[in-house]
Amino acid sequence: MGTHSSNRTSQLVSRSVLAVALAVILVVAGAVAWIGLGDRIDDDATTQSTSADCLEGDAQVSVIADPGVAPALQEIAKSYNALRPTVRDYCIEMDVRPGDARATLDGLTAQSWDTEAGGPRPAAWIPESSVWVAALQTAEPDALQGAPESLVKSPVLFAVRPELATAAGGRVMWIQMPFLTYADAFAAYGHTAIRGSARLAMPQGPQSDATSLAAQGYVYNTVEPDGAGPLTVDGVGKPNIQLGLRQLMRNPPRAGDGSAEAAVRAIISAPNLDAAQVRSVPISEQRLYLATKDDDEARIAIIRPRGFTPMLDYPVIRLAGETPAHASDAVAEFLTFARKPEQMRILTQAGFRGAGPLPEATATVDFPDVPQEMPQPEPEAVIATNRIVLRSAVPAS
């Protein structure tokens, strides 16, 4: 009797375990099937949205971008266009083209956009920095659709003769920027043998946003050393700040076409420190990377001043006014696509900082962490600074 009871109990237990196991298998199988079905539904939806009939026809949507970031965005646009995206029943083709910032500002603030001179009116503008956001907001506040968001960034630094970097020894601070223009600038670092100033160029040519950002870095670190808030127009207006900004613009050396790259070439080509017409220049990390990435040995050095670092932020300015709804929505979808890892990698591998891997360090540029980014200044503070250091970025009155 005891044996039969034990056998029946074992059978019952075995059947219960088997039932539970079968139930688990069915649940797992159902979940896998559901996930697979979801994937197929997503794939079908994607196929449908990219190959659906264009009830409203084809639409080309234009974006004007800073010449430095435009090539990467053009590559991303090719991938996006290959998907045949549909927005509001339009089949969309994104057209990214490089554009000079001042010419774009003038076009957007004119009575009407000149298509013969500037091509189709853009639905969005991605300049080198928020210097141009401030200019557009000041000149035409209604031209912006929402608050611009940064696409990628690049810190501003000084490209300098190697002798200067060695003499400074990592001790240069943003607040000292005007003092670099003095004849005995490097005596403060114990190097009286270096004759003359840092011969700091302040480029005024196209894509000279780093000139403005470096000046903002000096002002911000002087009036907000603790980073308590953004730079204000009152901060720029302080007498000592005005004197410092004007000192920076007191006969700065110029090289070639007035660009930062021309200054870099002048620094590199000089046979020695004394012969160097230009010894230092503010430039973005990304542009210096492009200018020197093929060098086997460093021919120019970097000074990264201590303090809050100004950043070129490549803001996406979505434009209001004449921009139709489908174009505005297409820009938003394109930028969502551009921020995906495989697309962002195209940007970061070109030396921009974003959510992707940076290039390998070169002989000149090593891409260190930026411990403290300077907050975005108030637009009025940017304009007030540029009235002294970069008048090309000040909108017409």
Question: How confident is the model over 88-120, as pLDDT tens digits?
Answer: 999 999 999 999 999 999 999 999 999 999 999
What is the pTM assigned to this prediction? 0.86
Query: Is the CB of residue 319 less than 8 Å from the CB of residue 143?
Result: yes
- Cα Rg for the chain, rounded, in angstroms? 28
The least confident of 34-43, 77-86, 97-106, 157-166 is 34-43
Whose CA is closest to 62, among 145, 128, 123, 126?
A: 123
What is the DSSP-derived secondary structure letter of residue 395?
P
| Confidence at residue 1, expressed as pLDDT on a 0 to 100 scale | 44
Query: Is the CB of residue 376 less than 8 Å from the CB of residue 116?
Result: no
Please state the three-class secondary structure of 283-325 as a single string.
Answer: EEHHHHHHHHCCCCCCCCEEECCECCECEECCEEEEECCCCCH
Domains, the chain: 58-150+315-350 (3.40.190.10), 154-312+366-392 (3.40.190.10)
> pLDDT (tens digit, 9 = 90+) per residue, 118-128?
999 999 999 99
Gap between the terminal Cα atoms of the chain: 107
| Confidence at residue 197, expressed as pLDDT on a 0 to 100 scale | 93
pLDDT range class, residue 2, cuts 50, 70, 90 = very low
Query: Is the CB of residue 113 less than 8 Å from the CB of residue 106?
Result: no
The encoded tokens of residue 214 equal 């470096």
How far is residue 118 from each of residues 100, 109, 112, 264, 365, measured CA to CA in Å? 10, 13, 11, 30, 35
Provide the β-strand partners of residue 373: 309
State yes or no: pLDDT of 15 exceeds 50.
Answer: no
Three-state DSSP class for 283? Answer: strand
Query: Is the CB of residue 101 less than 8 Å from the CB of residue 127?
Result: yes
The least confident of 175-189, 213-227, 381-395 is 175-189
Q: What is the CB-side half-sphere exposure of residue 168 using CA atoms within 13 A?
A: 27
What are the φ and ψ backbone dihedral angles of 259, each rounded to 5 degrees?
A: -90, 165
> pLDDT (tens digit, 9 = 90+) per residue, 363-372?
999 999 999 9
Residues 67-79: what's their mean pLDDT? 98
**C-alpha to C-alpha distance for 204 and 72, rounded to whole angstroms:** 25
Give the residue, 367 or 1, on which the prediction is more confident.
Answer: 367
| Confidence at residue 327, expressed as pLDDT on a 0 to 100 scale | 97
